[in-house]
Copies of this chain bind each other. A is one copy, B any other.
């Protein structure tokens, strides 16, 4: 069985490096003044495919034997993981089979199509997604790569905090967003193996508040309701991601959509970069908990920048 160790993360990093960008770490004086601390933004919005997901997807694909890889790779996702799998298949010369809900925005469908993936549409529910991807696997022998409930994927996501800490070794805290927990559990493990003293925190939307409940109860819980502009963070944790998070995460902070919008405006206006609403949830969490982060050099993982530009009018009013 695949175990996530310091060596596994280092091997994953060496494996995926030729295919990914080493994304820049940006700082911004006026945001530091507002936050009352020094923030270091790891810009995965500037990553290949516009999001960190390429790290996990690429590591999983590169972990397959050449024979297995020949049959292709498959997943169900409406978001950045779909693009990651499609891109990985393209550069590795194999097929990608992507199951997407019929309600997926056309900008995401087109991006996946652009990488040459074969798309199968399904009803927008979990059972339909899983059935559709199972059918494909049975027919093609393709390897299923789950968006987050997969140790190869989590190990790949851990390479992001590894790069951040190589660039800014004296960080005392790191904050990541939490959806299914792939990035967050990878960040927990990556930080832990490099420097166990680093405090890892998560930001979660109030309108998708499952992880905070699961973190407290120790069981995978559902969100009381799901409604947020942070549409990349609507999924629930898995047993595996929860168990890593329970062991290594310091705390989870909830933020409202209004707080997310305010952080989004700050990043667009001050940093001049395009990010997804999901991406600024950690910044919103820091701005809401200033006393905790005061004087503590803090890394923030900006997870992605794939946005539908026509939605700007909802976000910036």
Cβ-defined contact, B45 with A272, below 8 A:
yes
A65 within 8 A of B: no
CB contacts (< 8 Å) of A265 on chain B: these are 309
Q: Give the docked Cα–Cα distance between A46 and B46 (Å).
A: 14
A84: min CB distance to chain B, Å? 16
Interface residues of A in 301-317 (CB under 8 A from B): 305, 307, 309-310, 312-313, 316-317
Residue-wise, chain A 260-278 has the 8 Å CB interface mask toward B (1 for contact) of 0000010011011111000
Please list the 7 inter-chain residue pairs (A to B) with the smallest Cβ-Cβ separation, ordered nearest first. A312-B312, A313-B313, A309-B316, A272-B305, A272-B274, A45-B272, A268-B274
**Contacting residue for A272 out of B269, B273, B312, B313, CB 8 A:** B273
* CB of A116 within 8 Å of the partner chain: no
Q: List 8 A-B contacts (CB under 8 A).
A: A46-B272, A265-B309, A268-B307, A269-B309, A272-B274, A310-B316, A310-B317, A312-B316
Within 8 A of B (CB), among A271-313: 271-275, 305, 307, 309-310, 312-313
Pairwise interchain contact B268-A309, C-beta atoms closer than 8 A: yes
Q: Are A275 and B273 in contact (CB under 8 A)?
A: no
How many copies of this kind of chain does the complex include?
Answer: 2
Nearest residue (CB) in B for A312 is B312
Contacts of A317 in B (CB 8 A): 310
Query: A50 on the interface (CB 8 Å rule)?
Result: yes
Q: Is A36 an interface residue (CB 8 A)?
A: no
Closest to A274 in B: B272
Number of chain A residues close to chain B: CB under 8 A: 20
With beta carbons under 8 angstroms apart, the residue of B46, B50, B271, B309 that contacts A312 is: B309
Identify A313's interface contact among B45, B305, B312, CB under 8 A. Answer: B312
B-contacting residues, A53-95, CB 8 Å: none
Distance from A24 Cβ to chain B, minimum over Cβ atoms (Å):
7
Do the beta carbons of A50 and B272 come within 8 Å of each other?
yes
Interface residues of A in 24-49 (CB under 8 A from B): 24, 45-46
- Closest CB-CB distance, A267 to chain B, in whole Å? 9
> Chain B: which residue is nearest A29 at the CB level?
B48
Task: List chain B residues, Cβ under 8 A from A45.
Answer: 272
Known: A24-B24, A46-B272, A313-B313. 4 other contacts (CB 8 A): A273-B273, A273-B274, A274-B274, A309-B316
Residue on B nearest A50 in the bound complex, by CB: B272
A276 to B: closest C-beta gap in Å: 10
Q: Report Cα–Cα, A30/B185, bound state, in Å.
A: 32
Q: Which of A268, A272, A275, A309 has the most CB of B within 10 A?
A: A272
For the complex, give the distance between the alpha carbons of A275 and B309 in Å: 13
Q: What B residues does A24 contact at CB under 8 A?
A: 24
Contacts of A312 in B (CB 8 A): 309, 312-313, 316
Give the chain B neighbours of A275 by CB distance below 8 A: 272
Report B-chain residues with C-beta under 8 Å of the C-beta of A271. Answer: 274
- When chains A and B are docked, how far (Å) is the Cα of A46 from the Cα of B43? 14
Q: Which residues of B contact A273 (CB under 8 A)?
A: 272-274
